[in-house]
Amino acid sequence: TYTNADLVARRDAAVPRGVASAASGVYAAYAENAELWDVEGNRYIDFVGGIGVLNTGHRHPSVIAAAKAQEDAYTHTSFQVVPYAPYIELAERLNALAPGDTPKKTLLVTTGAEAVENAVKIARAATGRPGVIAFTGGYHGRTLLTLGMTGKISPYKKDVGPFPSDIFRAPFPSVRDGITVEDALTGLKNLFLTDAQPERVAAIIIEPVLGEGGYIPVPTEMLVALREICDQHGILLIADEVQAGFGRTGTWFAIEHSGVEPDLITVAKSMAGGYPLAGVIGRSDVMDAMEPGGLGGTYGGNPVACAAALAAIDAIAHENLLGRSTAMGDKLKARFAEIGARAAPYRMWDIRGLGAMVAVEFVTDFDSATPDTALVKRLIAHAQERGLLLLSCGMQGNAVRVMVPLTASDEILDEGLAIFEEALAAAYA
Ligand code: PMP
């Protein structure tokens, strides 16, 4: 048996400090649906879900059963050597789920960053062009290409450049920062004039709801305009759905809210209910651009993870988790509004999101709208002390996001929100 304190000390000695843990001092022992217990038996309600991985909850029974059944057959052959049915079945499922009528194909890999890397490789091969345009505040991963695309320096990009060339940045439309859709599109058009020759751009990548950057939905007009601009210049549109996908926003993919069909979609996280799996879903003609042998990775599309993903997708469909996400989002927003409106010292600048992908942003005062990062740190610490796991987001880390399992009961949700309210009062005290 362990204590949290023992593990803190051993971790400090054995693991580099660069891999920080938001809930430091909480060492997992057991988890089920939206609850987690640490090695000392303390119980937590989990509003983080392993960073948006657990839309179907910790250890969803059918996900676990599918993974166990797969483990009893084979756990790894490498799809590039001996292929297997679960990979094909999952690809078929994803091709059918992806928005739009264009025939689709799917590549499976292991992490979100790897999915983004491969989407860029495929886009380059398909267009014969090098350029990639990403947005301010976007998060696409921690490998060197995806870090180059990630639009936030600290802590991700600090001290590890240079990053690959031909990555350009366009302004994200953020009302919060006074950037309208029109401004953002002007910025993109200026980028075409100043740095990124449009005929040399392979892809524009955007998170339909900005994730790490603050849970800001991209307005429909922006996505529609990006589709038009991409078509005009022969650029491929990539929707990074790693965090927003698989029901978090009330639809399978967040971009469905806009009606826009992207050329490529990157997926990971909640697709596989807690197992490492990611993918690129895209137009068949684009996906086939690379020659045989050009795509892959030893573990890509691991059979246990594929089996888990098929079960997680079934659970989202059969348990109506898309409807649940929308209802949960309404409830979360209403409850946050109630908490914020109730007492004058609370300074919630914004309650925003799509479906159950909801965040609350805090400022020091409404006039200057200065981000209150310190308050959010205190809020998260007080919540943890009281048994609720929370995570921040936003360029300044001054928002709290909710990634609670969509399978969480109303009781658990209410209990978590009550702790949130108490922790917020304590953070302001
Ligand atoms: N894209 C988005 C939108 C993400 O939110 C993340 C992870 N937070 C990634 C890519 C990278 O995924 P991974 O951490 O699995 O590499």
For the stretch 68-98, pLDDT in tens is 999 999 999 999 999 999 999 999 999 999 9
How far away, in angstroms, is 90 Cα from ligand 1 center? 20
Q: Which fold has domain 4-59+320-428?
A: Aspartate Aminotransferase, domain 1 (3.90.1150)
Q: How far is CA 297 from CA 114, 118, 425, in A?
A: 10, 11, 49
ipTM of the complex: 0.99
Q: Say if residue 35's pLDDT is above 90.
A: yes
How far away, in angstroms, is 242 Cα from ligand 1 center? 6
In this predicted structure, what is the pLDDT of residue 177? 87
In this predicted structure, what is the pLDDT of residue 43? 98
- With a 6 Å cutoff on the Cβ, whether 207 touches ligand 1 is yes
Q: Within the chain, which residue ranges are assigned CATH 3.90.1150.10?
A: 4-59+320-428
How far away, in angstroms, is 124 Cα from ligand 1 center? 21
Q: Say if residue 179's pLDDT is above 70.
A: yes
Amino acid code (one letter) for 224: V
Classified as helix, coil or strand, 239 is strand
| List of residues 6+ apart from 318 with CB closer than 8 A | none
Q: How far apart are CA 422 and CA 302, in angstroms?
A: 43
In this predicted structure, what is the pLDDT of residue 342? 67
> How many CA atoms, within 13 angstroms, populate the side-chain half-sphere of residue 76?
4
Please indicate whether residue 344 or residue 392 has the higher confidence score (pLDDT): 392
How far away, in angstroms, is 211 Cα from ligand 1 center? 9
pLDDT confidence bin for 45, thresholds 50/70/90: very high
Q: Say if residue 345's pLDDT is above 90.
A: no
pLDDT confidence bin for 200, thresholds 50/70/90: very high
How far away, in angstroms, is 112 Cα from ligand 1 center? 5
- With a 6 Å cutoff on the Cβ, whether 38 touches ligand 1 is no
What's the burial of 231, exposed, middle or buried (CB within 10 Å: 0-12/13-18/19+)?
A: exposed
For the stretch 222-242, pLDDT in tens is 999 999 999 999 999 999 999
DSSP annotation of 371: B
How far away, in angstroms, is 269 Cα from ligand 1 center? 8
The answer to whether residues 362 and 348 touch, using CB atoms and an 8 Å cutoff, is yes
Q: Say if residue 136's pLDDT is above 90.
A: yes
Q: Say if residue 341's pLDDT is above 80.
A: no
Q: What is the mean pLDDT of the chain?
A: 97
- With a 6 Å cutoff on the Cβ, whether 289 touches ligand 1 is no
- With a 6 Å cutoff on the Cβ, whether 156 touches ligand 1 is no
- Token pair belonging to 99: 């928005």
Residue with the nearest Cα to atom 15 of ligand 1?
112
Per-residue pLDDT, averaged over 315-333, amounts to: 98
For the stretch 143-173, pLDDT in tens is 999 999 999 999 999 999 999 999 999 999 9
Q: How far apart are CA 278 and CA 300, in angstroms?
A: 8
Mutate to test the pocket of ligand 1, among 205, 243, 248 (most ligand atoms within 8 A of CB): 243
Q: Within the chain, which residue ranges are assigned CATH 3.40.640.10?
A: 74-318
Mutate to test the pocket of ligand 1, among 269, 271, 354 (most ligand atoms within 8 A of CB): 269
Quote the percentage of the chain above a pLDDT of 90. 97
In this predicted structure, what is the pLDDT of residue 340? 85
- Token pair belonging to 372: 């209150």
Per-residue pLDDT, averaged over 374-387, amounts to: 98
In this predicted structure, what is the pLDDT of residue 276? 98
Strands 43-46, 388-389: pairing is parallel
C-alpha dihedral sign at 160, 162, 168, 171: positive
The ligand 1 atom at the shortest distance from the C-alpha of residue 207 is 3
In this predicted structure, what is the pLDDT of residue 171? 98
- With a 6 Å cutoff on the Cβ, whether 245 touches ligand 1 is no
In this predicted structure, what is the pLDDT of residue 183? 98
Residue with the nearest Cα to atom 10 of ligand 1?
140
In this predicted structure, what is the pLDDT of residue 175? 85
How far away, in angstroms, is 302 Cα from ligand 1 center? 18
Angle of CA points 113, 352, 396, to nearest 5°: 60
Per CATH, domain 74-318 is 3.40.640.10: yes
Q: Say if residue 249's pLDDT is above 80.
A: yes
Angle of CA points 380, 136, 203, to nearest 5°: 125
Q: Say if residue 304's pLDDT is above 80.
A: yes
pLDDT confidence bin for 375, thresholds 50/70/90: very high
Q: Say if residue 361's pLDDT is above 80.
A: yes
Strands 201-206, 131-135: pairing is parallel
In this predicted structure, what is the pLDDT of residue 105? 99
Residue with the nearest Cα to atom 13 of ligand 1?
112
